Amino acid sequence: MNKKIMIITAVSAGFIGGFLVKKGLERQALSPEKVLSKVKAAAKETIDIDGAWIFLEKEPWMNGKILYDVFKGGLTEVVDDEVTHYDFIADAGTGTLLQLKEN
């Protein structure tokens, strides 16, 4: 009987450990390249993107009372030989575009 309990406990611990590791990996930040790709996909609905860049280091950013880990970067648009620059802030965990400002 003790051997059965030990096996059940070991299997249960394995499942729980695997579940926790999976959840921990899901919470990790996306790569800067993946975030830039998501930002470009969101922004292309409103601007014709000609160029894009992103800082490779994430940083904390407050929006009101909410703290985010974010990536910052920029996009450029050329319309009638006129270049317009935009700065963006995107959530590092989801790639969601949080702010897009024209310069």
Question: For residue range 30-64, what is the model confidence (pLDDT) as tens digits?
Answer: 999 999 999 999 999 899 999 999 999 999 999 99
pLDDT beyond 60 at 72: yes
12-16, 25-29, 51-55 — most confident range = 51-55
pTM exceeding 0.75: no
Q: Collapsing DSSP states into helix, strand and coil, what is residue 14?
A: helix
Cβ atoms of residues 68 and 61 within 8 Å: yes
From 47, 44, 35, 52, select the one nearest 96 (Cα to Cα). Answer: 35
